[in-house]
Amino acid sequence: MTVRPLLHTFMVFGVGVLVSAGMKPSEAADQLQHLRAACEKGMAASCNSLGLLHMKGEGVKHDDIRAAALFRKACDGGDAGGCSNLGVMYAEGMGVPQDDVQAAAFSRKACDGGSMRGCSNLGVMYAEGTGVPQDDAQAADFYKQACDGGDAKGCYNLGVMYAEGIGVPQDDVQAAAFSRKACDGGSMKGCYNLGVMYAEGIGTQQDDVQAAAFYRKACHGGNARGCYNLGVMHAEGIGVPQDNFQAADFYRKACDGGSLRGCSNLGVMYAQGTGIKQDDVRAANLYRKACDAGDAKGCINLGVVYQVGRGVKQDDAEALKYYGKACDLREPKGCAHYAKLKTGRR
């Protein structure tokens, strides 16, 4: 049902003062004018905020080159957030030529200047050996520095390193602690991983109720895996009351968020009429969506509906195609279904 946490490193932009979507046009224009004037007067933080607006195209025309120039001005003026954002621009090749060495240099300058996002991003670069020599111990040190400074993504990555024993001694208790700190800081991946640890009793006492609570928090924060696992728990009555209607709702959220298993399981519920109105056509469409994106279970289910002609026109050739795809995805059941249909065995 659950998936062990996997190392997922990422570089992210810092935040500045952004124009509020709820502002009146006149108010937004006034704020933009204020930021421009402040930046021209040498207020580095205003240059960083203005750069973010140009990068996002919020209230101004999207312009990565202008954004990079403003981040540079902010960094030169002593704003660590500007240095961090310029590092990301170099890493992604946005508004400047892609250059990992420069990305690492500006991330380091940001970290030295007190930007915890810069420290976290530098940890990513050491973990991946991008722009700096690969060094897991250094990565862990920078994640720790970022986490101690309140950066949730640094806490998340450090939790994963403790879970896997990468750059630090393997320690599930520490992994759970840093996942909790990440979750408390707003990392939905941290909430998801903490749910996994409660579900499996890893680094903490096994507790399905707590697992469901953290999956719910992750799901509400947009984490599709959290939605999928919460759907499974409702379907099976683990840690929550058994409720097929809730299971279908969470599978739908998971599917909409990109979880292929969520799409496949929702398809099964449509096929069975469990927790949702029975609909073979929708079931087949969901299986197809999952299979096309690489979910072996979805491919098997799609093969079955083609073989029996439910929701689609019966077609053994199409059934073989999807069983074969499941087999290619290393799903033994797909191989077995393919062989049975191909040889005419029952």
pLDDT of 7 higher than 50? no
Residues 105-120 have pLDDT tens digits of 999 999 999 999 999 9
Three-state DSSP at 294 gives coil
Q: Are 268 and 301 in contact (CB under 8 A)?
A: yes
Residue with tokens 């026109």: 313
Tokens linked to 89: 């621009």
- Range of the structural domain that residue 94 is part of: 1-134
Q: Is residue 272 part of a domain?
A: no
For 250, the token pair is 């969470």
Q: What is the CATH number of the domain that holds 44?
A: 1.25.40.10
Is 345's pLDDT higher than 90? no
Note the pLDDT of residue 242: 97
Domain count for the chain:
1
Three-state helix/strand/coil letters over the chain: CCCCCCCCCCCCCCCCCCCCCCCCHHHHHHHHHHHHHHHHCCCHHHHHHHHHHHHHCCCCCCCHHHHHHHHHHHHHCCCHHHHHHHHHHHHHCCCCCCCHHHHHHHHHHHHHCCCHHHHHHHHHHHHHCCCCCCCHHHHHHHHHHHHHCCCHHHHHHHHHHHHHCCCCCCCHHHHHHHHHHHHHCCCHHHHHHHHHHHHHCCCCCCCHHHHHHHHHHHHHCCCHHHHHHHHHHHHHCCCCCCCHHHHHHHHHHHHHCCCHHHHHHHHHHHHHCCCCCCCHHHHHHHHHHHHHCCCHHHHHHHHHHHHHCCCCCCCHHHHHHHHHHHHHCCCHHHHHHHHHHHHCCC
Would 270 be classed as within a structural domain? no
Sign of the alpha-carbon torsion through 161, 166, 171, 174: negative
340 assigned to some structural domain: no
Write down the pLDDT at residue 14. Answer: 53
Say if pTM beats, i.e. exceeds, 0.75: yes
With a CB cutoff of 8 Å and minimum separation 6, the contacts of 73 are: 39, 44, 47, 82
Q: Is 37 inside any structural domain?
A: yes
pLDDT reported for residue 210: 98
Q: What is the pLDDT of residue 32?
A: 84
For residue 276, the Cα-to-chain-centroid distance in whole angstroms is: 28
Q: How high is the mean pLDDT of the chain?
A: 91
Tokens 């719910």 belong to 216
> In a 3-state reduction of DSSP, which class is residue 306?
helix
**Per-residue pLDDT at 28:** 56
Q: Is residue 293 part of a domain?
A: no
Which tens digits make up the pLDDT trace of 141-197?
999 999 999 999 999 999 999 999 999 999 999 999 999 999 999 999 999 999 999
Q: Flag whether 281 is in a domain.
A: no
- Specify if 337 maps to a domain: no
Whether 249 is covered by a domain: the verdict is: no
